Amino acid sequence: MISKLFKFHGGVHPPEHKLESTRRPIRNLPIPEMLVLPLRQHVGNLPKIRVQAGDHVLKGQLLAEAEGSVSAAVHAPTSGTVVSIEEQLIPHPSGLPDISIAMRPDGEDRWIALEKTDWRHRDRAEMVASLRESGIVGMGGAAFPTQIKLRPSGKSSVRTLIINGAECEPYITCDDLLMRERAEEIVKGIEIAHYLLGPENCLIGIEDNKPEAARVMREACARSSVKIDVAIVPTLYPSGDARRLIGLLTGIEVPSDKRSTDVGLQVFNVATMAAVYRYFEHGEPVVSRLVTVTGNVKDPGNFDVLLGTPMSALLQAADGVLPDTDALIMGGPMMGFRLPSREVPVIKATNCIIASSPRLFPPQPPALPCIRCARCAEACPVDLQPQELYWFAKSKNLEKARDYQLFDCIECGCCSYVCPSRIPLVEFYRYAKSEILAQDKAKEAASLARERNDFRLARIEREKQERAAKHAQKAAGAKTEAGIDDAKKAAIAAALERAKAQKAEVVPQNTDDLSSTVLAEIADTDARRAAAANTQEN
Amino acid sequence: MLSALLVMIGLALVLGAVLGYSSIRFKVDGDPLVDKIDAILPQTQCGQCGYPGCKPYATAIANGEADINQCPPGGEAGMRALADLLGVEPKPLNAEHGVPKPKSVAVIAESLCIGCTLCIQACPVDAILGAAKHMHTVIASECTGCELCVAPCPVDCITMEPIPEKVANWKWRYPVIELKQVT
């Protein structure tokens, strides 16, 4: 039993609204007519598509496999035919479409041949490697691929394994219901994680507003072969944040530039543990999840939903929305975002859908200027200075915002919640964060461009020198050619000399060997020709 | 009196030797300020500032020959960073050198390209691939969007296309909030 609980700074206690959706047990949803599976359901690289439009796939068949180290696979949630692979609206705050696989279920819901694992006798590294094909990501909403968090570093540095069942955000109850109804699965999943990481102790943190879940979990843990403590933490938002829960249970504050594993801690959500159990015990990849449907619906509750199911089908299952519903919120009222359409699909990170209405969430009156009352600083669970961050983000003084540890902000919304001027502080932080990240990316691109430009200039310089060298060589070559010319000229001159000399020598004439009479005749003729020429001249 | 003088002279000699040694031992090659300025510039090498590239512009700023507001691709943020670095007042971008545009990449209409290699010679970052009398193409991931390849093309087959907003490069907007009017 855990002896002592610690505290974290700040936190707020908004109205819980959890009872509405916990009155009924988990219900199953009929298979919808169409499933849309976005490839971007997790943090990291997009997975690589392994099917084509027109392919018939079975339930649990791989549609897209993990690409790179941080990535997660996507599987067919039921048997059916792949209809298209194209951009469709996805549940994302941008409201932009992204590449998705659409499939039409055939209604048979036939599983692919599943491979069960006797995990107690299997190599740990091999098990973790096989998690890449499981598609398991953090099911609490962060959607970080689980194989990375379970990677046993040989000397597994994890001393304390913490299981997060706090579920601190208002309205959301899917983990509560999961713990009540499927405690065995969670505990078996914890046993597997325990086998993989080999921690010294293991804690489950549950907020005290879920006594039923805590009781069931205690009973399940008591039956387990592994020693698991159930710790009840006071209900205070955001105790479900991993670092806050670590602080509550162990008193350790994880340094902002380190990961929790660096200080010997690892945190998993209860639903992630259940998914790990289903994968290793039954061979089932992630094809469905529990989703809370609440808010402005007639019959709120929790549903076991196939991934890719349109939100409209969920609302229908909750008996439809009330007439004044104006939007859908995915996630809780503190950290969630508005969905661009009622037709966007359920993804691995969808823990809750709230139908919102002006009655539930009245529109905020106009904001007033910041009066620097520092109430936000009192509420901030990360111990930041939200008023300063607001100042810097608002004036686009991004470097300063970074210096004030903007990236430690978990966007929990406590500051906005307590702000007497009703300033949407978190929106400013989100803006500043994404702007800084974009600038960092641009800087990276700039340094690449600089490198390429430097290389180009160096290459041009080198080519110039090479050309110059070539020219110099050619010029030198021409000089030697001139030398050759001289030799030739000398040869020619010599030849001419020789010719002259030959000419100078007595040349035999065709008159040489003639008789004297002929010679006399020739002389006579020449004399006459000369006389004739003389008379002509005169 | 004399001993004091000797002590001072001795000290001066020792310190002078230390300074002289360190000025040789720790000599800084190049101008570190130019590199710092160059690190802020966006490296598009577009020449809109009036200098033949980012480094020459950085050198000109460091020498006090150029102003900090001549780089449209760097935008307001770049100008602010320069002002911060140099300890001068930020000033609005000089419209004479152009206005900031959304980030674009060059696209070659490959059916029109005649393979003249003029654009390849113009590209400051070697982002165009091709050979004489063969079709050219732009390596989009390396293109800085400097537009230097557009003008030399004899058949006008290069266009600048803004990078579309996708989920992967989407950014949260600057919040526009309604303030209560005080009458």
pLDDT in tens, A422-480: 999 999 999 999 999 998 998 899 999 999 999 999 999 999 999 999 999 988 887 76
The rounded distance, in Å, linking the Cα atoms of A442 and A461 is: 28
Which domains are seen in chain A, by residue range? 19-29+121-356 (3.40.50.11540), 366-482 (no CATH)
- A428 and B41 within 8 Å at the Cβ level: the answer is no
pLDDT at A102: 95
Which residues, in sequence order, are bridge partners of residue A81? A56, A104
Least confident of A240-254, A510-524, B40-54, B112-126: A510-524
User: b/e for A289-323, b at 16 or more Cβ within 10 A?
Assistant: bbbbbbbbbeebbbbbbbbbbbbbbbbbbbeebee
- A438 and B44 within 8 Å at the Cβ level: the answer is no
Coil/strand/helix, residue A43: coil
- The per-residue pLDDT of chain A, averaged, comes to 90
- A442 and B175 within 8 Å at the Cβ level: the answer is no
Note whether A337 contacts B: Cβ–Cβ < 8 A: no
Closest CA to A295 of A314, A310, A308: A314
Burial class (CB in 10 A: 0-12, 13-18, 19+), B131: exposed
- A452 and B166 within 8 Å at the Cβ level: the answer is no
ipTM over 0.90: no
Q: Answer whether residue B183 shows pLDDT above 70.
A: no
Read off the tokens for B151. 């003008």
Q: Answer whether residue A181 shows pLDDT above 80.
A: yes
Read off the tokens for A67. 């690409």
Q: What is the reported pTM?
A: 0.82
Could you please report the per-residue DSSP string of A131-187? GGGTT-B-TTTT--BHHHHT---SS----EEEEEE---STT--HHHHHHHH-HHHHH
The matching CATH number, chosen from 1.20.120.1200, 3.40.50.2300, 3.30.70.20, 3.40.50.1970, for B101-165 is: 3.30.70.20
Phi-psi region of B98 (alpha: psi -120 to 50; beta: other; left: phi over 0): left
Cα distance between the two ends of chain A: 156
Tell me the mean pLDDT in the region A73-86.
94
The rounded distance, in Å, linking the Cα atoms of B120 and B136 is: 8
Q: Answer whether residue A262 shows pLDDT above 90.
A: no
The rounded distance, in Å, linking the Cα atoms of A157 and A397 is: 39
Tell me the mean pLDDT in the region A276-300.
93
pLDDT tier for residue A507 given thresholds of 50, 70 and 90: low
pLDDT tier for residue A503 given thresholds of 50, 70 and 90: confident
Residue A478 half-sphere exposure, CB side, CA atoms within 13 Å?
6
Task: Kindly report the backbone phi and psi dihedral angles of residue A84, in degrees, each rounded to the nearest multiple of 5, phi listed first.
Answer: -155, 160
The most confident of A58-72, A464-478, B6-20, by mean pLDDT: B6-20
pLDDT at A4: 81
Tell me the mean pLDDT in the region A345-366.
92
Closest residue of B to A460, CA-based? B121
Q: Which residue in B172, B173, B174, B179 has the most chain A C-beta atoms within 10 A of its own C-beta, making it the best mutation to test that interface?
A: B172
Domain B32-97 has CATH 1.10.3720.10: no
- As a three-state string, the secondary structure of B38-81 is HHHCCCCCCCCCCCCCHHHHHHHHHCCCCCCCCCCCCHHHHHHH
- B167 and A453 within 8 Å at the Cβ level: the answer is no
Interface of B with A (CB under 8 A): 38, 41-45, 53-54, 77, 81, 84, 124-127, 142, 144, 165-167, 169-175, 177-181
Show which of residues 438-457 on chain A sit within 8 Å of chain B, judged by CB atoms. 438-439, 442, 445-450, 452-453, 455-456
Coil/strand/helix, residue A230: strand
pLDDT at A212: 94
Closest residue of B to A92, CA-based? B167
Closest CA to B48 of B101, B120, B85, B92: B101
Closest CA to A281 of A199, A184, A200, A153: A184
Read off the tokens for A136. 């398991």
Among partner residues A97, A428, A455, which is closest to B175 by beta-carbon distance?
A: A428
Closest CA to A76 of A117, A115, A35: A35
pLDDT at A487: 77
Could you please report the per-residue DSSP string of A381-421? TT---HHHHHHHHHTT-HHHHHHTTGGG-----HHHHH-TT
- The per-residue pLDDT of chain B, averaged, comes to 90
Q: Which residue in B59, B129, B174 has the most chain A C-beta atoms within 10 A of its own C-beta, making it the best mutation to test that interface?
A: B174
pLDDT at A396: 87
Q: What is the pLDDT of residues A97-138, one digit of tens each?
A: 999 999 999 988 999 998 887 888 888 888 888 888 899 999
Tell me the mean pLDDT in the region A355-360.
92
pLDDT tier for residue A509 given thresholds of 50, 70 and 90: low
The full set of domain ranges for chain B reads 32-97, 101-165
CB A276 within 8 A of CB A193: yes
Closest residue of A to B41, CA-based? A446
Q: What percent of chain A has pLDDT over 70?
A: 95
Q: Answer whether residue A68 shows pLDDT above 90.
A: no
The rounded distance, in Å, linking the Cα atoms of A362 and B149 is: 54
pLDDT tier for residue B100 given thresholds of 50, 70 and 90: confident
- B142 and A452 within 8 Å at the Cβ level: the answer is yes
Tell me the mean pLDDT in the region A36-41.
93
Q: Answer whether residue A154 shows pLDDT above 80.
A: no
Q: Distance of CA A366 to CAs A244, A327, A336, A375, A417, Å? A: 32, 20, 21, 19, 15
Q: What's the sign of the alpha-carbon dihedral B58, B62, B64, B65? A: negative
The rounded distance, in Å, linking the Cα atoms of A11 and A392 is: 23
